[in-house]
Amino acid sequence: MRLAYLVCGILSICVGVISIFLPLLPTVPFMLLAAFCFARSNPEWEARILRDPRFGPHIHAWRQRGAISLKGKIAAIVGLTGSGIMGLVFLEGLVAFAPAAVALICGSWIAIRPNA
C-alpha cells in the first residue's frame, strides 16, 4: 500500500508541476494530494512539500482549517463560471445545464470555505 501512495504522490507532483504552466489546471490541489500520499508513504518528502514557500502555506491552511486563499477562491469561481457559461452556449439539450450545475455546486462549496 505504501508503494501505491508513493506512486500516487509522485504522479501528483508531476501533474502539479505541469499545471504551473497550463492555465485552468489548478496546482495546489495536486500538491495537497501529493502531501496526503507522501504522509502515508514517505514522510521526508511530505516535510519537503510542507517547507516549500509556494505550496506549504496552502497545505497548512487546508489541513488546519480547510481554508482556501481568497485569490484561489476567485480563480476557481471565475473558471467554474466560464465553464458553466460555455456549456450553456455550446452544448445542446439538457446536457447544456450540466456544467452550470456543477459550477454552481462546486463554486458554492468553495465560496463557503474559510479564507486562508
CA atoms within 13 A on the CB side of 102: 14
- pTM for the model stands at 0.80
pLDDT at 20: 87
Residue environment code for 76-95, b if the CB has 16+ CB neighbours within 10 A, otherwise e: bbebbeebbeebeeeeeeee
What integer best gives the mean pLDDT of the chain?
A: 94
- For the CA atoms of the chain, what is the radius of gyration? 16
Averaged pLDDT for residues 98-113: 95
- Of all residues in the chain, the percent with pLDDT exceeding 70 is 100
Under a CB-based contact definition with an 8 Å cutoff, are residues 27 and 19 in contact?
A: yes
pLDDT at 22: 83
Cα→Cα distances 32→49, 84, 101, Å: 9, 25, 25
Q: What are phi and psi of 68, to 5 degrees?
A: -125, 140
- Of all residues in the chain, the percent with pLDDT exceeding 90 is 86
